Chains A and B, each alone.
Chain A
Amino acid sequence: MKKRSREGFSLPIYILFTAVTLAVMLLCICVGSVMLPPMDTLEVLWNGLTGAQGPVNEMAANIILPVRLPRVLCVALVGASLSLCGGAMQGLLKNPLADGTTLGVSSGASLGAVTAIAFGISLPGFPFAGSMVMAVLFAFGSLALILSLAYKLDSSLSTNTIILIGVIFSMFASSISSLIITFAGDKIKTITFWTMGSLQGSSYENALVLLAALALFGGLVIGCGRELNAFAVGEDNARNIGVNVRRVKLTVLICISVLIGVCVSVSGTIGFVGLVTPHMLRSITGPNHRRLLPATLFGGACFLMLSDLLARTLLNPRELPLGVVTSFVGSMMFIYIFYMSRKGR
C-alpha cells in the first residue's frame, strides 16, 4: 500500500509561493508612472526596513516609502482576504459562483461604510473605525439576510436561487448607498471609490488593520479546511460524518463578514476577486480546501497586485479604478463558470 498522501502543501511549496508573491510585489513597486530600477528599490526597502542610512536614490525613496509600498501592501492583503472569502464561501455553500460580490455582501458592507460616514458615526479615538465596524456589521447582516431568504425559498440552496437573491440584494443596497451619497455629497468625496474600489492613498495603518484581520479571521477560516471539504461534498454529508454544521457555518460566515467588511471600508468594493482566484487555483490544487485556501492567499495577493498595476499603468498618467479591471476579468469568468456548469449537467 502506498503511503498516505498529505492533504496540505509541503514547506518547499510554501517557500515557492512566498517567493513568487514577493517577486510580484517587487515588480509592482518598481513599475508605475515613474519607473524605478529594481536594485534601487531593493536598497530603499532594505534601508527602510533596517533603518540604515545610506547613499540611496532620493527620488525612489520618496516614491516608494510613502506611496507605493503601503499601496501595494494593502492591495496584496485585500486580494488575499477577498480570495480566501470567496474560496471559503464556495465551499460552504457548495456553489462555485459564490463570492462577496455575487452574494451582495460587498454592497451591504459598503452601504454600512457609507452610512457611517454620511451620518458621522464614529468610535471615539479611532477615526476610521466607525465606518469599518459598520461595514462589518452590515456585511454580516446582509449575509444572514440573503442566506435565510435563500433557505426559505429553496432549502437545497441551489446555485441559481442564491445568486439571484444576491444580485437583487446587491442592487437594493447599492441604490440606498447612492441615495445617501446624493444627499451627503460633500462628506463623501468620490462616489466611484465606493462603487468601483480603489486603493489610492492607502496608508501603513490600513495595511496593519488588514493584516491583523487576515491573521485572526483568515487563520480561523483556513483552520476549518476539513469542515469546508465536508460542506463542499454536501451539507447533509457534513452532518452525517460528525461536523457541527451550525457552529462551523456561523464561524465561517462571521469570519467572512469581518474580512469583507474590513476590506470594503479600506478599499471600497472591488468586485469578483473572490470568484476569479479560487476558480483559477482549483484547477491546479484541486478542490481540497486544505490546499485551496492557503493557495488563495498567495494567488489572490498576486492577482490583485497585477490588476492594480494594470489599473495604474494602462492609461498612464490617468488611473483606472481597480474595480474596473477586476470586474472586467471577473464577469468574463462568471459567464465561463456558469456556462461550463450548465453544460456539465
Chain B
Amino acid sequence: MGAMLEVNNLTVRFGQMTIVDEISFSVSPGEWLMIIGPNGAGKSTINNAISRAVPYTGTVLFEGTDIRRSKSREMARNIGVLSQNHYVGYGFTVEEVIRLGRYAHAPGLLAGGKDEGEEKVRDAIRKTGMEPYLNQSVLTLSGGELQRTFLAQLFAQDPRLLILDEPTNHLDLIYQKQVFALVGEWLKKPGRAVISVVHDLSLARAYGTHALLMKKGKIVSIGSVEQVMAPEYLNQVYDMDVYDWMRQMYGQWSGAAQT
C-alpha cells in the first residue's frame, strides 16, 4: 500500500535557527502518527510546514503530488488541521463556524448541489454532540465546547488526513478523552490517517499506531508506538528515567484504586 503523505528532507529555518532539520517520514492510510518530544523539538513546526503555514525546504507529497502545487481548496479537501487554541473575534453562531468547513467543497461562486455537503455537516454536528449549541454564539462557549465546534468544522470539511496540533492542550480530562475518542472513531473509515502532536505520552501510547520521537529538530526514533516508546529512546530524549517516573505516577493511582 502506497503512502498517503511522504515527507522528504523537510527543513524549516527561522532566521539563523534551524527548527526542523532534514526530517523524512511517511504516513499510510489507517495510521495515527504521534509526534512526541520535549518542548522546542520542532513538533508543531512540522505540522505547520505540512499545512503550508510556514515556509520550508524539502518536499511534502500528498499521494505523490507536491503540496506546493495544490490549490488552497484542493489542499483543504486533502488535509485538515485542528490547532490548539482559538480566539474567535466576533459572535458567530456555532453553526456558522461549522458550516465554514464546507468552504473547500463549495462549487465556485454559485452555491448549488449541496446535498452531500448537508449530510456531512449534520453528521459532523451529531458526532460531536453540538446540536444543542447550534444557535449559540461561539463567544459564550467553554474551551472544550469551542474545540468540539472546530472539530465538527473539520469533520464537515471531510479531509483525508487530519493534523492535530496539541488538540487538548488547555482542556480538562473529560474533553481530552472526548476529542481523542472522536478522532479515533473518525480514523476507522478506510483511506484516512491522522498526525498529531501530543505532550502526554500516555495519550500517545493509548491512541497512536506509530510514533515519531524528536529532539532539537532531528528524529531520534520512528516506527510503531512500541518501538519508539522504548525506554532507551525516551530516557535519552527527556534526560530522565521516563518509565520509572510513569511507574511512580501510575503506581499511586492503581494503589489508590485498590484500597
Contact = CB atoms under 8 A, between A and B. Distances in A.
Determine if chain A interacts with chain B: yes
A242 B88 contact: no
Interface in A255-284: 282
Contacts of B247: none
Interface string A60-90: 0000000000000000000000000000000
A244 interface: yes
A284 to B, nearest CB: 13
Nearest to B90: A287
A240 interface: yes
A209 interface: no
Interface residues on A, range: 20 to 34
Interface string B89-115: 111110111001101101001000010
Contacts, number: 84
A233 B100 contact: yes
B86 A237 contact: yes
Nearest to B72: A244
A232 B53 contact: no
B76 to A, nearest CB: 3
Given A240-B76, A240-B80, A241-B153, A287 B91 contact: yes
B72 A243 contact: yes
A286 interface: yes
Given A241-B153, A241-B157, A244-B72, A234 B96 contact: no
B73 A242 contact: yes
B253 interface: no
A225 to B, nearest CB: 11
B77 A236 contact: no
Contacts of A229: 92, 96, 100
A178 interface: no
Contact of B51 (A4, A95, A240): A240
Interface string A114-132: 0000000000000000000
Interface of B: 51-53, 71-77, 80-81, 83, 86-93, 95-97, 100-101, 103-104, 106, 109, 114, 118, 122, 139, 150, 153-154, 157
Q: What 7 A-B pairs have minimum CB-CB distances, sorted nearest first?
A: A242-B76, A242-B104, A287-B90, A94-B89, A244-B72, A242-B73, A240-B81
24 contacts: A4-B118, A229-B92, A233-B90, A233-B92, A234-B87, A236-B53, A236-B81, A236-B83, A239-B51, A241-B76, A241-B101, A241-B104, A242-B72, A242-B73, A242-B103, A242-B104, A242-B157, A243-B103, A244-B71, A244-B72, A286-B93, A287-B90, A287-B91, A287-B92
